[in-house]
Structure 1
Amino acid sequence: MDLDRLDSSTSVFLSQREKKLKTALFSIGASSFLIVLKLVFGFLTNSISIFASAIDSLFDLSASSVNYFSIKKAEKPADKEHRFGHGKAEGLAGLFQSFIIGLSSIYLIYVSVKRLVVGSQVHSLDIGILVMVFSAIVSFFISRHIKKVADYTDSVALSADSLHYRSDVYTNLGIVLGLIIVKITGLLFIDSLISICVSLYIIWSTTSVFKESVDILMDKELPKSTVKEIEDVILKYQPYVKGFHKMRTRRAGSKKFIEFHLVVDHTLSFVESHNIAEDIIKEIEKKIPNAEVTVHVDPHGFPDYS
C-alpha cells in the first residue's frame, strides 16, 4: 500500500470532515438567531406571514440539527460492521430534509389560504418590512457560504441545507413584497397569494435534493462524465492494458466507490501488472476527489472466473 497516498487521503478526509461539521453548527446557530428574530417581531407586528416564516426557520433548525448528527455519523471511518463507511447517512439526511422543506411549504400554503378566507389585521408594517429584508439578506449570505462548503466537500446534506436558506430568501422577499403592497393598497389577499406562489416554488425546488438522496441510497452509478474520466485514464495505459470490464461505481455521502477488472498483456510479470494497476488507481483518485478505487487484474486471453 502507498503510505504517502494514504496519509494524503486521510488528511483531506479529516479537513473536509471538519469543514462539514463546522458549517453544520454554523447553520444551527443561524437558524436559531432567525427564529428568535422573527418570533419577536411577529408578535410586535401581528403578521401571520412573519410567524409563518418563523415556523419555516424552526423547520430549518430541525433539519440542520439532523444534518449535523448525520454528517458526524457519515464521516466516521469504516469499521468492522460498516466496511464501506457511513456515507449513506448523508443520503438519509438529504431525504429527511426534502420532506421537511416540503412540509414547511405546505404549512405556508395552509396559513396563506387561511388568511385569504378569514382575513387578519397587521400593524407596524414598516418594522415588519425591515425585519424581513434583513432576514432575506442574512439568509442569502448563509446560503452562499453553506453552498460553497457543500460544493468543496461534495456533501448532499449541506447542499440541502443551502437550499433551505436559498428558499428562505425567496420566502422572505415574497413576504416583504406582500407587506409593501398591503401597506400601499390595504389589499391583504395579495400577501397570501405571494406566499402561496413562493411555497409552490420551494416544493418544486426540493425535488432535486430528493432525487439525489434517493440515488445515493439506491447506489446509482456515478454520472456519465465521471465514468468517462475513469475510462480515459485506463485507456491511457495501452498497449499494456488491453481493456477493462465489470466496472461498477456508486456514491455514499461524499465518498465515491469505483471498481473494475483490468485486462493486461499476459506477458507482463505479476509485479509489472500490479504497478500498472496502482498507477491507474493513483491517477483516478487524483482526478476524482474522495474516490476509493478497487481493481482486479486479469491476464489478456485467459478466462475470467470471478
Structure 2
Amino acid sequence: MVATNVNPSEKYRNRAAWISAIASVFIFLIKMGAYRLTGSAAVLSDALESIVNVVASIVALFVIRFASQPADAEHPYGHGKAEYFSAAFEGGLIFFAALMIIGESLKALINHEPAQKLELGVLIIGGAAFLNLLLGVYLKQMGKKHHSEALQASGAHVISDVTTTVGVMVGLGLVLWTKIEWLDPAIAILVGLQLAFQGFKIVRQSWGGLLDEMDEGSLENLTNALQKNRMPGIIDIHHLRIIRSGSFHHVDAHLVVPEFWNMLQAHNETHDFERKVVQDYPVDGEIAFHLDPCKKSFCEICDLENCPIRRVPFKTLRPFTVKSLTGGPAATNPLAYENANRSN
C-alpha cells in the first residue's frame, strides 16, 4: 500500500538553479577582474574557488532538472539520487580547486611575486562577497524548503566562499599594514587547506545519501508524523527503513494490526493511516507496510475497543520512538515478542 504527495517544488528548484548559475558567472568575473588588477595570490585563490561555483551551478542545473523527472519503467524509484551525485561532484571540484590554489600559492611564495593596488582589490572582492552571501542564503533556504540536496550543497559552498573571501580580505589588510609580502601567498595556502576540508565534508555527506545512510533528522520527522496520526488498530511498527531519493523518500516498515481484520479492512485502515502520515511528513514520499497479525500477544498495548479476541485488559500505548521503529518488535514490547514466537 502506498501513499504519495504531488510534488509542486520542481519549478522553484529549477529557478533557483538558474539564478545560481547566472550569479556565479557574474561573481567569478568580478573576482578575476580583481586578480588582474592586483596580481595577488590570495585573490587568485578566491577566484579559483568561484570557478568551482560556476561549474557546480551548471551541473546542478541539469542534475536538478533530471532528478525532478517522475519514476518510469527503468527507474521505478525515480531519479532523485542524481542530486547526491551533483553534491558529490561539487565536493570533488572544491577539493581539486584547493590543490590548484595550494600549488599556485607555493609558486608565488617561491618566486616572491609582489601584489599591487591591494586597497582597490579588497573593495572589489568585498562587493563580490556580499553578492555571494545573498546567493548562498537564498540557495540554502530554497534547498531546505524544497528538499533539494543539490541546492543545499551549493548554498553551503557559496557561504563557505564568503568566509574564504572575508579571510582573504583580512589577510590582505595585514599585508597592507605590515608590508610583509610573503603573507599574501601564505594566506592563499591557508585558504586552499580550508577548502580541501570543506570539499571532503560535502563528498562525505553525499556519499551517505547515495548509500542510504541513516539520517536522524528524517527519522525524527517520520516518528513525529507516525505518532501524531496513530489510531486504534495501529498496534506496533518496527523494522522501519528510509530510502532517500533526493526530494522523495521511500519508507518500508512492518505494521502489526489486529489478526481478526480481513484483507479489505486491513487495506483500508492502513491506507488511511499512510495518507495522513505522508501529509504530515515534511518530505514528499510513500510508505509500504508489511502487515503482521497481532497473534493475541499485544493486548496490553493495543487500545482497540470491543476487541473480540482480547486476552488481557489494555494498559497503555507504547509511544513510537526512533529506536522502537527501526528495531525489531522486541524493541517495543519484549514480552509480546516472546509470546508471539511461542505461539508460532
Aligned residue number for residue 38 of structure 1: 31
Q: Please list, as runs of the form range in 1=range in 2, the aligned pairs for 1:1-306 lying within 5 A after superposition.
A: 9-10=5-6, 13-14=7-8, 16-223=9-216, 224-226=219-221, 228-229=223-224, 232=227, 236-238=230-232, 240-288=233-281, 289-301=283-295
Q: Alignment length, in residue pairs?
A: 295
Deviations 1:53-111 (A, max 9, x none): 22221121111111111111111000111000001101111111111111112222222
User: Structure 2 counterpart of 1:286, which letter?
Assistant: Q
Structure 2 CA distance for aligned equivalents of residues 43 and 135 of structure 1: 15
Note if contact 1:170-1:198 (Cα within 8 Å) is conserved in structure 2. Answer: no
Q: Which structure features the higher share of helix residues? A: 1
Note if contact 1:177-1:191 (Cα within 8 Å) is conserved in structure 2. Answer: no
Structure 1 CA distance for aligned equivalents of residues 108 and 163 of structure 2: 20
Task: Please report the RMSD computed on the Cα atoms of aligned residues, expressed in angstroms.
Answer: 2.4
Structure 1 CA distance for aligned equivalents of residues 228 and 134 of structure 2: 39
Deviates more, 1:53-62 or 1:267-276: 267-276
Deviates more, 1:191-200 or 1:65-74: 191-200
Note if contact 2:34-2:125 (Cα within 8 Å) is conserved in structure 1. Answer: no
Deviates more, 1:76-85 or 1:274-283: 274-283
Aligned residue number for residue 317 of structure 2: none
User: Structure 1 counterpart of 2:291, which letter?
Assistant: V
Q: Which has the larger radius of gyration?
A: 2
Deviates more, 1:177-186 or 1:130-139: 177-186
Note if contact 2:92-2:200 (Cα within 8 Å) is conserved in structure 1. Answer: no
User: Structure 2 counterpart of 1:101, which letter?
Assistant: I
User: Structure 2 counterpart of 1:228, which letter?
Assistant: T
Q: Post-superposition shift, 1:246?
A: 3.8
- After superposition, the Cα gap between the structure-2 partners of 1:140 and 1:30, relative to the gap in structure 1 and judged at 3 Å, is same
Q: Secondary structure at the match of 2:214?
A: coil
Q: Secondary structure at the match of 1:259?
A: strand
**Is there any run of 5+ residues in structure 2 with no aligned partner, and where?**
297-339
Q: Post-superposition shift, 1:248?
A: 2.2
TM-score (norm 2): 0.79
- Quote the sequence identity (%): 27
Deviations 1:108-167 (A, max 9, x none): 222222222211122222210111111111111111111111111121111111122112
Aligned residue number for residue 324 of structure 2: none
For CA contacts below 8 A with separation 6 or more, give which structure has more relative contact order.
Answer: 2
- After superposition, the Cα gap between the structure-2 partners of 1:159 and 1:80, relative to the gap in structure 1 and judged at 3 Å, is same
Structure 1 CA distance for aligned equivalents of residues 106 and 156 of structure 2: 25
Deviates more, 1:197-206 or 1:271-280: 197-206
Q: Post-superposition shift, 1:233?
A: 5.0
